[in-house]
Amino acid sequence: MVVLGSLSTSLSNIQCQIADQLGLKLEGETLIERAACLRQRLANGKRILLALDEVSEELDLEAIGIPIRGENRGCKVVLTSEKDVICSQMGAQKKIQVKPLTKEEAWHLFKDMDGDSVDAPDIRLIAEQVVTECLSLPLALRAIGRVLKNKSNFVWTEVLKQLRVDNRKLEFLGRADMFADQQTWKKRAGPHLRLSYDSLENEETKSLFLLCCLYPACRIGGVSGTHPPFVFSGSKATTFGGAQS
């Protein structure tokens, strides 16, 4: 099971995510009571692989209810984080650094997003250059690949020009150090994502996209924080609470 660890690192939220995927009804109102309920289920001997994704700060696994040390008979934990120090703080037994995609891997990912159109005689060379300008970043490759699917040679050429302009603006970051930290990754991928956003067909689609950004990834359409759920129709987004935007 995959659980997001970046939602303000709320332990109760993580507990709910785990329980939902286990089909478990958490008993008790306090964090400690719910942790005991989770621990009993996770330590029952059944083999479970729990992936904590995008962990942004140290999490107390015991407080969540994830069994560790001797009581952990079948539950294994994998975590992903932008910060190596987080892995150390949480006592990771083995660390695996994710390397940038190779040129071949980047091409295959881009082609998966764009389809067979990249093999067209008037597109192939431009497509290879676009992949190069995406700097082996999976997020950029997926975003740009979807934007260019079944587009004309003119659109491909214009996107390539824009990518080159954006990358030149970011040269001060230093290509040799681009994978040194995740903040650099984000600065590199940002312009590519902006290009993808700008290519959305109309303002209504853009508005819906921006509204979705108010919600954590696993709670779109559900109640989250102070933002009520909404229904998007036409040019207006209507919340269940009655407000419109």
Question: For 168-197, how does the pLDDT look when each residue is reduced to its tens digit (9 = 90+)?
Answer: 766 644 444 444 444 554 555 556 666 666
Residue 181 counted as domain residue: yes
Q: Check whether residue 158 and residue 213 sit in a common domain.
A: no
Residue 6 counted as domain residue: yes
Task: Examine the fold and report which residue of 59, 89, 119 is the final residue of a domain before the chain moves on.
Answer: 89
* CA–CA separation, 117 and 90 (whole Å): 46
Q: Check whether residue 233 and residue 192 sit in a common domain.
A: no
Q: Check whether residue 60 and residue 108 sit in a common domain.
A: no
Q: Check whether residue 194 and residue 210 sit in a common domain.
A: no
pLDDT tens string 145-175: 888 888 899 989 988 988 888 777 666 444 4
Q: Which of 141, 129, 159, 52 is nearest to 100 (CA)?
A: 141
Task: Examine the fold and report which residue of 36, 61, 89 is the final residue of a domain before the chain moves on.
Answer: 89
pLDDT tens string 63-91: 999 987 766 667 889 999 888 899 899 98
Entry pTM: 0.57
Q: Check whether residue 69 and residue 153 sit in a common domain.
A: no
- pLDDT category, 211, cuts 50, 70, 90? low
**CA torsion through residues 172, 177, 183, 188, sign:** positive
Percent with pLDDT over 70 in the chain: 67
Q: Check whether residue 26 and residue 110 sit in a common domain.
A: no
Residue 95 counted as domain residue: no
Q: Check whether residue 82 and residue 159 sit in a common domain.
A: no
Residue 10 counted as domain residue: yes
Residue 66 counted as domain residue: yes
Residue 155 counted as domain residue: yes
Residue 245 counted as domain residue: no
Instruction: Please state the domain count of the chain.
Output: 3
Q: Check whether residue 231 and residue 188 sit in a common domain.
A: no
Residue 112 counted as domain residue: yes
Q: Check whether residue 190 and residue 219 sit in a common domain.
A: no
Please compute the mean of the pLDDT values over residues 88-115 and round it to a whole number. 90
Residues of the domain holding 235:
204-239
Q: Check whether residue 191 and residue 211 sit in a common domain.
A: no
Q: Check whether residue 30 and residue 63 sit in a common domain.
A: yes
Q: Check whether residue 80 and residue 141 sit in a common domain.
A: no
Q: Decide: 110 and 163 in contact? Cβ < 8 Å.
A: no
